Amino acid sequence: MANIQRAILSWYDQNKRELPWRTSKNPYFIWISEVVLQQTRVDQGAPFFYRLTSLFPSIEDLASADEKDVLLAWKGLGYYSRARNLHKAARQIMEMHDGVFPTKHTELIKLAGIGGYTAAAISSISFNEPVAAIDGNVVRIVSRLLDLPGPVESAQTAKVIKEFANEILSINRPGDFNQGLMDLGSLICTPKSPACTECPLMEVCLARANNSQHLRPVKKPKKKAVNRFLIFKILINQGKILMEQQQKGSIWENLYLFPFDEHHSEEAFLSKLDLENKVLIDPSLHVLSHQRLNYAVLVSENKPPIMHGNWLSLDEIYDLPTPILVPRILTRIENQLAPLF
């Protein structure tokens, strides 16, 4: 185990990525970076890290902000539940910990949106607590080191990975070791075509010895994405468009979106479109992680105006927290809308 620790730390000292959140051990910045990077590549997430830490430079600033402003700062990053949990956890830290960032994994994991990996990353990097931060990179590395044949989602395999990751963890430099494994997974032990000859652990990797690295990790088949069929309505009155804030339980909770009708099947969806004569966007597809949004867009000049919702100019809409689908739709139809403004 000592050899693995030395190999990882030596490799990390020479090859670590220069990332903006690594200039400080500030747990607030580490936390922001970890939440931003969930489901997001580093190059995509870095601008949002800068944006969030500029707008909300401290826990106090984030906790005291309106949720609308937090969602707006998050706009374009997707998975908005992360932003809502970020805001909620900041308020929990202010209320439950007097604004002082918790130092222990067991305390951090109780905060909104902070799971085992994020808690371990924060506590090990910022407070030197020896807890293995097990993300997808670490799962992949360990499954190859041990040449694990079982699905990594299974309780038995997950237990083996967790125990081994904690066993090889450096007690003296847990934060650097965790980050070393993260970087190794991102740069060398990649999902496809791993650079095994450049890996500091190649001599102890069972999957490499067995030529099975391309088969590890074993994963269960993904669940098939759910198809939804939506018809969005661009309602215009006196140069303004109707927007509705989405309610709790929606995947777009508290975000603003055009009114829409949802249909239970593709047949019902297409039948409804056949009856319309002001279709701005024909059936299109917007893919989310677990949903496939089949959608079309209609336009209508609304006279007299509907009273509920928010009637807003285009500039006001662009300043709202919205799903990425809204600006994409507006960009596609701006020339068709121009005569109506």
Close Cβ partners of 201 (under 8 Å, ≥ 6 residues apart): 4, 7, 8, 141, 145, 184
Distance in angstroms (rounded) separating the CA atoms of residues 108 and 33: 15
- Residue 260 CB-density burial (10 A; 0-12 exposed, 13-18 middle, 19+ buried): middle
Joined together, the tokens standing for residue 34 give 């970890």
Distance in angstroms (rounded) separating the CA atoms of residues 105 and 118: 9
Name the maximum alpha-carbon separation found in the chain.
75
Query: What's the distance, Cα to Cα, between the start and end of the chain in Å?
Result: 69
Distance in angstroms (rounded) separating the CA atoms of residues 233 and 158: 46
Residue 215's alpha-carbon distances to 192, 197, 218, 219, in angstroms, are: 10, 17, 7, 10
Residue in 18, 34, 95, 334 annotated catalytic: 34
256-257 and 240-245 as β-strands: parallel, antiparallel, unpaired?
Answer: antiparallel
Distance in angstroms (rounded) separating the CA atoms of residues 209 and 196: 11
| Spatial CA neighbour of 216 closest among 224, 208, 204 | 208
CB atoms within 10 A of CB 319: 12
Distance in angstroms (rounded) separating the CA atoms of residues 256 and 329: 13
Q: Is 34 a catalytic residue?
A: yes
Residue 237, SS3?
strand
To the nearest 10°, report the CA torsion of 251, 256, 259, 260: -20
Give catalytic residues, as residue numbers. Answer: 34
